Structure 1
Amino acid sequence: CTCATTGLKKSDWAGCDLGRRLMYTASEKLAIIRLVEDSDLSIRRTLDEIKVSRSSFYRWYQAYERDGLEGLENASRASRQDWNKIPDSVREQVVDIALNQPELTPRELAWRV
């Protein structure tokens, strides 16, 4: 399969497999940015051709303009794992109220906390 954007075969696109993927490396993101910048086609058409979403591309592009190659590095997901974790103090309070007032529904319990 040859890309209409660059004339390159899929396997030659800057060393990237540009099919749908969950995550790209910083160098792959930069290669995609360069490919789009150098393309004679519109940004939308180029991204459609290489199957990269516009929202991802523009997020990468802004990060690259702001922070350079470092801005394209994948952020650690560890910090996002506990976004909805209930703090221990609140959990203890919920358990105490629930044990002392078992007739409360979960909604009523939430209002008491």
Structure 2
Amino acid sequence: MSKRSKYTAEEKYKILIYYENEVGSIQEICIRYNISTSTFYEWRYNYEKNGIDGLIESKKYNKYSKELKEQAIQDYFSGKYSQMEIAKKYELPNRSVFKLWINKYNCHREITGTPKGMKHSMAKGRTASFNEKLEIVQY
């Protein structure tokens, strides 16, 4: 299940403007609106880069090659970049995309390119008849 923001682009913009107008510190604003400081910084970066359009949540499914993912992971483990800097360098929508790649790498799972279309993870099993189900329950 994807994680979607509970704030619209306009609401995000208002939160950023509160900070610009010195209504409160970043910490105070984050506590007031129940967001993390990293989320605040992501919004601010996206706004500075793309204006109000940068605050609109993307509906498209981005595809990344295996090579790009591996290079991003290598850069991160070199110690030269933070997760946020990697997300900016590789133009990822946010740092959570990169965190998924790191988790996969740390679990020793294969890093693959984004496939075309969605994969179905469940295999189609056979259907049991009513009598078979009854027999299983009685067993």
TM-score scaled to structure 1, two decimals?
A: 0.46
Q: Larger Cα Rg: Structure 1 or Structure 2?
A: 1
Larger relative contact order, structure 1 or 2 (CA cutoff 8 Å, min sep 6):
1
